[in-house]
Structure 1
């Protein structure tokens, strides 16, 4: 496949618009991506040109976008770049869209709390216990606490 994959870092410019057509959930929002540069004359950072992209999310990603994103939040979007041109009322019109594969908050600017979305249970697969990921304490670091052994996987 010859698709143009991009990774855009910017801010949510419009509230996400969520729809549930027959084909499945869909969401879109505008992403503002502003370049920054060091202005030597003023000895400070300055904003450059701002590009706007329409970001499209489908299926489960659309549902999560609607529940997670708000205007002004910094995000990172990865997806397929689609550039369209058209003539409307005698004017040339160009739009740049991103069909999102992944969207997340940019943790450079703040913190985020991840919440796993509920999954529909399948009748054929038994539930697996969560593995014990905790790192065992050093044997000589704290004698008062007993050492925990990892849980057995059955």
Structure 2
């Protein structure tokens, strides 16, 4: 689900993670327990997730895990949310084509006008200390 909020874009989706293990008795891979997580993405990440992911895509999510417990209608209830910092396709299971999103124009509405950082190394200052003469080799 994608929403445009006053604080910026927000997206959320459910992530199912199923463990797999090798069953030695049957000599087959077997699915284990499935855990479900609600993944939250904000700002540019939310916009890019909405444009890039489809239901069923294998993904890798990096972020902060938040586990909440509550009692609802007399039953214990637990949810696990991930505040995503980075999301991408799982390249062990397929390929993807990366496209950079355009940067907002300087002076555009809502875009902060900030100078670009200088990534150049400053020039070295000339040595003011006299250098010793190299020793003569005889």
Aligned residue for 1:101?
Answer: 85
Structure number with bigger Rg: 2
1:65 to 1, 24, 49: 49
Task: Point out which structure has higher relative CO (alpha carbons under 8 A, 6+ apart).
Answer: 1
The runs of 5 or more residues in structure 1 that have no matched partner are 1-16, 127-154
In structure 1, C-alpha distance between the alignment counterparts of 2:92 and 2:106, rounded to whole Å? 38
How many residue pairs get aligned? The number is: 110
> What CA deviation, in whole Å up to 9, does each residue of 1:26-61 have, x standing for no partner?
000000111110001111111111100000000000
Hey, which bits of structure 1, 4+ residues long, moved more than 4 A?
Answer: 123-126
> What CA deviation, in whole Å up to 9, does each residue of 1:99-118 have, x standing for no partner?
00000000111110001101
TM-score, normalised relative to structure 1: 0.68
TM-score, normalised relative to structure 2: 0.76
Aligned residue for 1:145?
Answer: none
- Call closer, same or farther: CA 1:125–1:23 in 2, change over 3 Å: closer
Deviation at 1:87, TM superposition (A): 1.4
Query: What are the residue-to-residue correspondences of 1:2-151 with 2, within 5 Å?
Result: 17-122=1-106
